[in-house]
Amino acid sequence: MDPSRPLWEFHFLDIPTSEATSTAVIRVPHSFGDGMSLMTLLFATARSAADPTRLPAMPKQPQRRGAIYVPPPRSAGALAFLRWVWSYLLLAWNTMVDVAFFAATVLFLSDPKTLFKLSGDNMVSNPRRRFVHRSVSLDDVKFIKNAVNCTVNDVLVGVTSAALSQYYFRKSGNTNTDQICLRSVLPVNLRASSSLHKYVDMIESSKSDDVAWGNQLGYIILPFHVAMLDDPLAYVRKAKKTLDRKKSSLEMLFTCKISELFLKMFGIKVYIFCSFVLIFFIQD
């Protein structure tokens, strides 16, 4: 990063829209904090133009207000009670499996040898790595989301899996349609989506010391399935199944606590080193 340039930028676009009289664009490094904490700080330091003693108008409360995992409400009846108990048993089992898989990945488990792993002769013949990007219409993503009854993230993971699959079978010439599993490390924001409103209210009531600033991120190992599928939407459905399974696990909370423990015990340098080692083992 260029040290002569500031670490943050504020741009005010004095262009009226249907929702506001002007727009503020803020560019800051993600190391300062996650989006929710930075938005909390922005709202807490701003005031309404109509009444300088009040906060600006807050956005609407999101539909999902709970934490990452919200168990189903307990209802009356024997069958409903069994479902409620089963949800906790499934949560405990998925968490144990994911944590064990995460530990095995750090210690010895690796992905199969494919075109996506640079090792041996491949590193000598093709040492370069490229970033390939493509713009995708958000309207198209939402259309698929509504058709399959999933989320935007499900669609994007499915599209990525389909792209990796097409690239692999085109470049390798492999006709074996057996599934190949590749893995990636995916950061997850652990803040509840309603924390913006709660933290702003806490700051206004002189309880700013209780507000948790900075990043609150956990990590999950997200598998990408490389396979030849006739139906393009099958990639999205498989991604939805994988992500739904991850949502019924506390793997991201476990990895967040482990990261905080490493940071407190060994400092920021060891923490960053261990993060790079984890990414290296996933790729290697």
Q: Does the annotation mark 30 as catalytic?
A: yes
Residue 242 lies in a domain: yes
Residue 206 lies in a domain: yes
Residue 49 lies in a domain: no
The domain total for the chain is 1
Helix (H, G, I), strand (E, B) or coil at 209: helix
User: 0.95 cut: is pTM over it?
Assistant: no
Residue 2 lies in a domain: no
Chain segment 33-86, per-residue pLDDT in tens? 777 778 877 877 777 778 887 777 777 766 655 555 566 666 667 777 788 788
Catalytic residue among 30, 133, 197, 225: 30
Residue 34 lies in a domain: no
Query: What are the start-end ranges of the H helices in the chain?
Result: 35-45, 78-107, 121-125, 138-148, 152-172, 195-204, 233-247, 251-283
Please say whether the beta carbons of 182 and 222 come within 8 A. no
Instruction: Give the Cβ contact number of residue 131 at 10 Å.
Output: 4
Please say whether the beta carbons of 30 and 161 come within 8 A. no
84 lies in which domain range?
69-283
Cα dihedral value 135, 137, 141, 146, nearest 10: 180
Q: What sign does the CA torsion over 57, 62, 68, 70 have?
A: positive
Residue 64 lies in a domain: no
What is the reported pLDDT for 124? 46
Residue 179 lies in a domain: yes
Residue 129 lies in a domain: yes
Chain segment 228-269, per-residue pLDDT in tens? 888 889 999 999 998 888 888 888 888 888 877 877 887 777
